[in-house]
């Protein structure tokens, strides 16, 4: 386990080891894990330029005020968008690309517990937020990530370590049993990162599981099941939830630490020091291989996940998932990435 003091020590070295003016994009940055990660980035980086994407102007104003208090030298830009729709992702990315030549960090935390709701683009709402939309952001902003110096990293927060079988006849998970959906979508995320990394060895890709954290995933939900979930979370949450501040610190560590280097080992973030835990094993099972499935303890997922992903590669699953994803993007937008 990466102990909290190691996390905090690494974060404290960001200002002295990484340059001023780091550019970070937070998709889902107006609440929950995204918000606490954003605030930690603002707290530790020198003169950061932040783009945070969300729907609530009220939340955005609150966050902007907090950020300016934490770091008056930063620049904080809200882009309002409903990111469950792929068509909305492209204009957001175009705006960022019009203002920036490089992006250092892309952090994606959007999600929901609402299931079996369809978007206007005929995507499963939950899977669109957790997978399709996030993947579109990565594809669109990958050219800018490749251009960055000192740090090039994608962090996507879902359920790393819980990867499971992928139902290729139902990629959107409309009929995948509830108990299997987490494993299905987790595998889609990790496999897609492997596909993207093939053309971006200079970028580090991390899929992580944050553990139990207080979030707004059930907001907007109705019905008996959601009501029960909310009551359960209210009852047991205080006993099992990781403190929000620690969650944010750990997400910042994932986004900046040299423990998770890119495959080419360049622009790998805050250097490790004597006594730090070693470089993490990637999804290939090899140290520092560029794509990581990371648990709430900051360590790589175990042998079961490595074996499952190896089997996926052998079966051509990476290619199957990417072909499906590309076809959905083409169906919805009728064009290549923005």
pLDDT digits (tens, 9 = 90+) for 248-264: 999 999 999 999 999 99
Q: Which residue has the tokens 């009852």?
A: 235
Lowest-confidence pick of 75-79, 223-227, 284-288, 313-317: 223-227
Contact yes or no for 119/85 (Cβ under 8 A):
yes
Q: What is d(CA 104, CA 151) in angstroms, rounded to the nearest whole number?
A: 5
pLDDT above 70: percentage of residues in the chain = 91
Phi, psi of 108 (to 5 degrees): -120, 120
Q: Considering only the C-alpha atoms of the chain, give the largest distance between any 2 of them, rounded to a whole number of Å.
A: 53
The string of pLDDT tens digits covering residues 263-296 is: 998 888 999 999 999 999 999 999 999 999 999 9
Average pLDDT estimate for 226-236: 52
Q: What is d(CA 255, CA 168) in angstroms, rounded to the nearest whole number?
A: 31
Q: Which residue has the tokens 């699953």?
A: 317
pLDDT value of residue 299: 98
**Chain-wide mean pLDDT for the chain?**
92
Contact yes or no for 292/157 (Cβ under 8 A):
no
pLDDT value of residue 213: 78
Q: Which residue has the tokens 């990958």?
A: 142
DSSP 131: I
Q: Which residues contact 326 (CB under 8 A, 6 or more apart)?
A: none
By the 10 Å C-beta count (0-12 exposed, 13-18 middle, 19+ buried), 280 is classed as: buried
Q: For residue 153, what are the β-bridge partners?
A: 105, 204
The string of pLDDT tens digits covering residues 7-28 is: 999 999 999 999 999 999 999 9
Closest CA to 268 of 26, 37, 12, 17: 17
What is the side-by-side order of every strand in the sheet holding 204-208?
75-80, 49-54, 23-27, 105-108, 153-157, 204-208, 291-294
More confident residue, 216 or 185: 185
More confident residue, 242 or 316: 316
**In the predicted structure, residue 117 carries a pLDDT above the cut 70:** yes
DSSP 202: T
Q: Which residues contact 271 (CB under 8 A, 6 or more apart)?
A: 13, 17, 258
pLDDT value of residue 201: 97
Strands (E), the chain: 23-27, 49-54, 75-80, 105-108, 153-157, 204-208, 291-294
**In the predicted structure, residue 218 carries a pLDDT above the cut 90:** no
pLDDT above 90: percentage of residues in the chain = 83
Q: Which residues contact 63 (CB under 8 A, 6 or more apart)?
A: 29, 30, 35, 38, 39, 52, 76, 78
Closest CA to 337 of 107, 137, 197: 137
SS3 259: coil
**In the predicted structure, residue 125 carries a pLDDT above the cut 90:** yes
Q: Which residues contact 91 (CB under 8 A, 6 or more apart)?
A: 81, 338
The string of pLDDT tens digits covering residues 40-62 is: 999 999 999 999 999 888 888 99
């Amino acid at each position: 386990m990466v102990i909290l003091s190691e996390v905090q020590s690494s974060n404290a070295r960001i200002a002295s080891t990484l340059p001023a003016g780091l550019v970070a994009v937070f998709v889902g940055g107006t609440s929950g894990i995204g918000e606490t990660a954003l605030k930690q980035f603002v707290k530790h980086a020198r003169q950061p330029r932040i783009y945070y994407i969300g729907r609530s102007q009220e939340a955005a104003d609150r966050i902007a005020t907090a950020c300016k208090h934490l770091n008056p030298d930063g620049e904080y830009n809200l882009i309002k968008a409903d990111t469950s729709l792929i068509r909305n992702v492209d204009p957001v990315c175009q705006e960022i690309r019009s203002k920036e030549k490089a992006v250092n960090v892309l952090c994606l935390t959007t999600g929901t517990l609402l299931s079996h709701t369809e978007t206007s683009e005929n995507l499963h709402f939950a899977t669109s937020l957790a997978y399709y939309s996030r993947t579109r952001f990565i594809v669109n902003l990958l050219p800018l990530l490749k251009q960055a110096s000192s740090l090039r990293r994608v962090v996507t927060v879902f359920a790393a370590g819980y990867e499971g079988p992928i139902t290729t006849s139902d990629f959107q998970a409309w009929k995948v049993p509830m108990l299997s959906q987490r494993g299905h979508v987790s595998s889609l995320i990790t496999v897609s990162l492997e596909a993207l990394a093939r053309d971006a060895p200079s970028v580090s890709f991390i899929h992580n599981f944050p553990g139990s954290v207080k979030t707004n995933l059930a907001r907007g939900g109705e019905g008996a099941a959601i009501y029960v979930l909310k009551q359960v979370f209210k009852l047991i949450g205080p006993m099992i939830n990781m403190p929000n501040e620690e969650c944010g610190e750990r997400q910042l560590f994932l986004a900046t630490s040299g423990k998770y280097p890119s495959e080419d080992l360049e622009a790998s973030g805050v250097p490790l020091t004597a006594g730090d835990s070693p470089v993490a094993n990637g999804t290939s099972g090899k140290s520092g291989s560029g794509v990581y499935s990371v648990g709430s303890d900051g360590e790589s997922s175990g042998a079961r996940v490595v074996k499952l992903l190896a089997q996926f590669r052998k079966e051509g699953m990476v290619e199957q998932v990417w072909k499906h994803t590309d076809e959905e993007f083409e169906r919805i937008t009728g064009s290549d990435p923005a």
